Chains A and B, each alone.
Chain A
């Protein structure tokens, strides 16, 4: 290629250093466990949950290997500032999708590679509301969690600083709180949402909460507002566990085995798991022994792996004596509402995620359905926008070319509606197999009456907001966002798969930790809650120590919170401004271990 001067582009050095953003490098040689060597923990899937788990366990001194089916990205080399070129970030292996309202996968909700879905999430990080943990008690639908918001709250505080989250000083919904880093400036879409909400008297916040740095954070620069968040943040401003937790894990002796597809979890004769079988990057089948296996492969691959691991004594799949594995799968209604404005918007600038309202989050009996929804900014780039116009306007041919020429006049809001858990929305195994010869997942998904009412009401409201913002034409595309459930937690082994720490009811040394264990999903983006839950599970595992492989006498005893396990650059910074007194653990400087920045 012709040499041309590069203004500000960062060339990767040729010394083999691994680049995570323009400034961060992994130079420590990574520990490699010898073949046949048993480790303490195997974590299957180094995504939102797996990345946090591997980091915590390594820092606490355990011998841990994180497996990921995809690559260990070098972000300078592998990621591009381009929609079509980001194909490899997604889980593109075959899945079969059906039901009355079939879900789309791949780029829509499934990551592959170290960092997992957190590589391509837009980065909205609202907390769940206290009511989300008590949906059955409060509304008589869905399910309760075996823990409350207050059990998770200290971990929300902690992860918001580790990520770190930028957002408004006053977040008024759920458990009101503030954010450690200041909000981002408004883009054109956020401007429309703020205007529309304000005109209708709806409270709205701007500039977050998002997992995007608004100020430089250690070796991560702040956001440059280029708008390619869901194509992987080359800037290193948007958090993925790849850049926030995995480097620290490696520094503390964790091994990441990338491009290794775990094909089954192996059972010993004593009713405990002995490790995993996997395909290495060359396609060879290998085995890794471990004292404990944690599956963090998300709502499709976690149930699939449990079902594909069926063996004598576990004919219905592992941890599935309840028959619940794969059931109560959820997605959030993620309709995109598009409005055309007379003046240009240029919605490709600024992070897609940067303003939202949760004013309609809680149940309002007057609306005629349980639970609620959020309205958020999104920022589709041209290919995504073209596909939206294909659905929302039925555009094709010259009509498509014409509306695409108006791309800069459109703004897009993301509706985010809570769909309840239903047993018939599920993951099963299809007869077809993938490139490894493993049976692929078959997903069945259908909306129920409450879901349909909620979507109809909420989409109308969102369109009202778009009109109130001044849009002259408003259309919408039905869609689903995020995955949740498929192996839910609960106290009763007959109706759930794991306890609140992710331990499977059936097998004492097999844990699940990811979005699949959520009993309900609220209408908050799940990423923050997945990471917070992983930090809580890690504290439990670490507190149990050697005893973790045995069935405990008592479950749900909260472990001490380890404030000394954060990655460098977190401790003592960005103290959250907590407004409500709550019932949970008070966090003050006294509770913090200062000076763990090694």
Chain B
């Protein structure tokens, strides 16, 4: 398993360069802009300092799936490039809903470690799905249709914020926002019980998370972040075993980090359940 020949990788920085250093190199102006909410940044666990926002977080500095687009087929290139250059407009959510939904997305799939030019649009992707009413082919009998579920969920989130923290969700501090969202993750919401009677709390949480995951991890910048090879036709792969990178991929260069200390989403706890069973996974695998 660990039999690995040393290799020269022209893309990756020399092995002794830490990821932290390479991030700083990528952004020489390490001083944060004064408007940046320092408190929202993830933390370098070795220094205890916040990690500066960067174009490409993750352990694969220099890796770019888009740089390989000449090796992709035409249909795929069209779809992926449109995703990057032409995010769909907001048409489903009202301006107030959009503001609230963006605040929710900022906590359930935070991107404070990405610089402004490299934030991945999630809200637009969800809005577009709901605008076109694209569904996944089914609805749980204890759930309203997706459009209604998202609207109800936003109302419930704001109701909890006002009742527990005395302010609209968008005006809460990030840590308070995390607590509101965690109460839904745990299926122990402290308010909006009328809504939770019409809509299963666990299934709403999964709907929200799935939509965010589908937005973020469909984006080539997210592939670069996690070291996924991206579209692979017609070239394919040649190094299948032992986690070997292809010549155009990059060796992992780990750094130790965590979300900001106050964040409730740093720790892993099972999703709460009202039924005693967890809603099964919904993605095809086998």
Contacts and interface: CB of A to CB of B under 8 A. Distances in A.
Given A101-B277, A349-B239, A387-B282, A382 B73 contact: no
B110 A398 contact: yes
B278 A478 contact: yes
A404 B57 CA distance: 12
Contact of B135 (A92, A225, A399): A92
A402 B71 contact: no
Contact of A85 (B76, B245, B257): B76
Interface stretch (A339-347, A500-508, A539-547, A588-596): A339-347
A525 B286 CA distance: 8
Contacts of A10: 73, 234
Contacts of B263: 397-398
Contacts of B286: 122, 124, 334, 352-353, 376, 378, 414, 416, 481, 525
Given A107-B284, A343-B243, A382-B222, A97 B140 contact: yes
A35 interface: no
B109 A401 contact: yes
B285 A98 contact: no
Interface in B269-286: 269-271, 275, 277-286
B213 A390 contact: yes
Contact of A477 (B237, B264, B281): B281
B46 to A, nearest CB: 16
A336 B281 contact: yes
Among B73, B74, B135, B279, chain A packs the most CB atoms within 10 A around the CB of B73
A471 to B, nearest CB: 12
Given A80-B231, A397-B109, A108 B258 contact: no
Interface in B71-122: 71-76, 78-81, 83, 107-110, 113
A423 interface: no
B213 A188 contact: no
Nearest to A224: B236
Contacts of B259: 397-399, 401-402
Given A344-B243, A383-B213, A234 B233 contact: yes
Contact of A96 (B108, B139, B227): B139
Contacts of B110: 397-398, 401
A404 B58 CA distance: 9
B283 A387 contact: yes
B36 interface: no
B29 interface: no
Contact of A398 (B226, B266, B283): B266
B80 A120 contact: no
A219 B89 CA distance: 43
A9 B72 contact: yes
B229 interface: yes
Interface in B55-70: 57-59, 69-70
Interface residues of B, number: 91
Given A6-B70, A191-B242, A393 B268 contact: yes
B265 A396 contact: yes
Contacts of B240: 185-188, 225, 349-350
A9 B265 CA distance: 43
A409 to B, nearest CB: 8
A interface, size bucket:
35 or more
B185 A387 contact: no
Interface stretch (A71-79, A308-316, A570-578): A71-79
B235 A8 contact: yes
Contact of A394 (B271, B282, B283): B271
Nearest to B236: A224
Contacts of B209: 387, 390, 396, 400
B225 interface: yes
B281 A388 contact: yes
Given A81-B72, A225-B240, A399 B282 contact: no
A185 B283 CA distance: 26
Contact of A94 (B137, B226, B227, B244): B137
A85 B136 contact: no
Nearest to A91: B137
A334 B280 CA distance: 9
A226 to B, nearest CB: 4
B134 interface: yes
A394 to B, nearest CB: 5
B268 A405 contact: no
Contacts of B204: none
28 contacts: A8-B71, A82-B76, A91-B137, A94-B138, A102-B140, A104-B282, A105-B137, A106-B137, A186-B240, A186-B241, A230-B285, A344-B243, A352-B286, A353-B286, A388-B283, A393-B270, A397-B108, A397-B264, A398-B258, A399-B266, A399-B267, A401-B109, A404-B222, A414-B285, A443-B138, A478-B280, A480-B280, A481-B285
Interface of A: 1, 4-11, 22, 76-85, 87, 90-98, 100-110, 120, 122, 124, 185-188, 191, 195, 223-228, 230, 234-235, 334, 336, 343-346, 348-350, 352-353, 376, 378-384, 386-388, 390-391, 393-405, 407-409, 412, 414, 416, 442-443, 470, 477-481, 525
Given A187-B240, A235-B236, 15 more contacts: A76-B73, A81-B72, A82-B80, A108-B284, A188-B243, A224-B232, A343-B243, A344-B252, A349-B229, A352-B285, A394-B185, A399-B266, A401-B57, A443-B138, A477-B281
